[in-house]
Amino acid sequence: MRIGVDLGGTKIEGVLLADNGEQLARERVATPAHSYEEVLDAITALVEGLQIKAGGSASVGLGGPGAISAVTGLIKNSNTLAISGRALPADLGARLGCEVRFANDANCFALSEAVDGAGADYPTVFGVIIGTGTGGGVVIDKKVLTGVNSIGGEWGHNPMPGAAEQRVCYCGRLNCIETYLCGGGLANSYIVAGGETINAADIAKRAVAGEVLAETVLDNYCHQLARALSGVINLLDPAAIVLGGGVSNIDMIYEKVPQYWGEYVFSDSCVTALVKAKYGDSSGVRGAAWLW
């Protein structure tokens, strides 16, 4: 059996999976806001509870924001500041008395969907989370491609192709793909176009209801997503791209983006499948379990 843990900004979720992927148990606790020691305490207690249910014989995988630096062995690139610069997997393993495997949360999402989710029938999968942020992960033959710099799949921090304005990303760079394609990026595009302050889901609802401004903004968003994903297709040529996160629930994306990316893909045809995640918000924690 496998235990997976997903460390998020507001919650820590744990799951116990059987070898066939059946969910045997699932637990959630609030993420301590600022204390690294409290984060360790919370994860330890969660895992120990799941280990009891597993009879003490489950492996442990952990997914979270950031990556392990190949130089220092510490967490880097994390927007959860409590764990930045810390040896989280090693410290957790010392408490639990076992090895803990760690991967970026977007990599865990991609792995989950590639193993037994929407991408299970495809040999190469690019998994994308478009929600409060924009992350990506590459899975080849059911294995995550981490990369020598531990940034494999960090597509959201490439420059947005054809960016028409200046947007500052939290990473300090300008016009990252994330600043246009995350939920807040779509909402900002609606404001820039002359709309009021509403969220991405409401923009989609207004587009369906026939509001011209919402239709225009959402259509432009699909063009932006198509341009950004065409770079992935030209580089990796994945068999499937699986979308997760709140923005992935906008149905128009799956119709329009494959129509639009043909303009940018360097091929006479593009048969890459664009599909919605099977497990939704549960993919991250399931993928952490599948690290073993």
pLDDT in tens, 125-150: 999 999 988 999 999 999 999 999 98
Phi, psi of 3, deg, nearest 5: -105, 130
pLDDT band at 240 (very low <50, low <70, confident <90, very high): very high
Half-sphere exposure of 16 (CA within 13 A, CB side): 18
pLDDT band at 69 (very low <50, low <70, confident <90, very high): very high
Tens of pLDDT along 184-230?
Answer: 999 999 999 999 999 999 999 999 999 999 999 999 999 999 999 99
pTM: 0.92
User: For the residues 258-265, what does the mean pLDDT come to?
Assistant: 96
Which stretches of the chain are DSSP H helices? 36-53, 88-96, 105-116, 177-181, 183-192, 200-208, 212-236, 252-260, 283-289
Residue identified by tokens 């190949």 is: 70
Which is nearest to 65 in space by CA: 53, 74, 48, 77? 77
pLDDT at residue 223, rounded to an integer: 97
pLDDT at residue 78, rounded to an integer: 86
For the chain, the structural domain boundaries read 2-104+282-289, 118-276
**2-104+282-289 and 118-276: identical CATH topology:** yes
pLDDT band at 118 (very low <50, low <70, confident <90, very high): very high
Residues in the chain, overall count: 292
Sheet holding 143-144, edge to edge: 143-144, 134-140, 124-130, 240-244, 273-276
pLDDT band at 80 (very low <50, low <70, confident <90, very high): confident
Q: What percent of the chain has pLDDT over 90?
A: 89
pLDDT band at 47 (very low <50, low <70, confident <90, very high): very high
pLDDT at residue 70, rounded to an integer: 87
SS3 at position 7: strand
pLDDT at residue 57, rounded to an integer: 81
User: Is domain 118-276 given the CATH code 3.90.550.10 in the classification?
Assistant: no
For 248, residues 6+ apart whose C-beta sits below 8 A from its C-beta are 128, 129, 130, 131, 276, 277
pLDDT band at 103 (very low <50, low <70, confident <90, very high): very high
CATH topology of domain 2-104+282-289: Nucleotidyltransferase; domain 5 (3.30.420)
State how far Cα 34 lies from the chain centre.
23
